[in-house]
Amino acid sequence: MKAKIKLGPAGIPHKCDGSSVDGVFYVHKEGLQAMEVQFVRGIHMKNKMALEVGEAAKQTGVELSVHAPYYINLASHKKKTQKESVQRIIDSLERAHHMGAKIVVVHPGYYGEHGPDKAHKIILEQCQKISDHIISNKWKVLLGLETTAKKKQYGTLDEINDICKKVKRTAPVVDFAHLFAKQGGAIDYGKVLDKVKRYKHIHSHFSNMTRNKKGGYSDIHKPIDHAPPFKPLAKEILKRKLDITIISESPLTDIDSLKMKRIFAKLGYEFT
């Protein structure tokens, strides 16, 4: 058995002047295997278009995922914000269902005035509601909880793993750059992957991060020429023979996905 690796960009490739449908065909033409449809600034796609994107994915074999809007806070002290956040996630899941996407990536929220323990309890309850909605609608899509970069943001890998163990139809989304930044510019890829080894498939993000004036790293993505390094991660993936999707959140999106592909190729991996 060998690793099963899929690579692709977050959003439509930057040189593709067209729709998400065009983006899927462009990604396939480049020799990439995945694309994450971006709703980060709002959900403007109708279900009809989602079906068209899904048809393009079926024709090309490109694996789809969706990123829900950034303005979500499941742990807000305002009930109205919690309710609106849940609805944005459900709307994203509905589009993902129609396009045949496997997972919807979500930034769960912020600790705020609750603190970590209470925020965790609230987010767990909200995720259970969303999970119940997925199951009742028989949608074949996962709620993906992403690891986050900022100290004030909910989303350590341990927090997310705890929810995913308790709530059906949820899965962690490992953003290696976010973990690197949250840990002050350090990451042990082996330890991270050990924490998600129970999952048959791992959905992940990768980019580099910008160093801030204090010497740490801010939540600003940059091309993969700096830190964290990609090659050691690639080696760990191949050693463990993982089934993994890696979405490039670099400003160069598909260009850096192709760079990752070349790194894997130099390490002896053949994409099918």
Q: What would the pLDDT profile of 60-84 be if each residue is shown by its tens digit?
A: 999 999 999 999 999 999 999 999 9
Task: Please tell me the predicted confidence (pLDDT) of residue 193.
Answer: 98
User: Which tokens belong to 38?
Assistant: 């971006």
Give the integer Cα–Cα distance in Å for 121 and 108. 12
Q: 194: Cβ–Cβ under 8 A, 6 or more apart, which residues?
A: none
At 272, the pLDDT band (50, 70, 90 cuts) reads confident
- DSSP secondary structure code for residue 259 in this structure: H
Is pLDDT at 205 greater than 90 in this prediction?
yes
Instruction: Share the mean pLDDT of the chain.
Output: 96
At 210, the pLDDT band (50, 70, 90 cuts) reads confident
> What percent of the chain is modeled with pLDDT above 90?
90
Task: Please tell me the predicted confidence (pLDDT) of residue 156.
Answer: 97
At 215, the pLDDT band (50, 70, 90 cuts) reads low
> What percent of the chain is modeled with pLDDT above 70?
100
In the chain, where the domains are located: 4-266
Class at the top of the CATH hierarchy for domain 4-266 = alpha beta
User: Which tokens belong to 256?
Assistant: 């850096």
Is pLDDT at 213 greater than 80 in this prediction?
no
Task: Please tell me the predicted confidence (pLDDT) of residue 51.
Answer: 98
User: Which tokens belong to 27?
Assistant: 């990604």
Is pLDDT at 243 greater than 90 in this prediction?
yes
At 262, the pLDDT band (50, 70, 90 cuts) reads very high
Smallest Cα–Cα separation from 88: which of 36, 134, 48, 42?
Answer: 42
The burial class, CB within 10 Å (0-12 / 13-18 / 19+), for 110 is buried
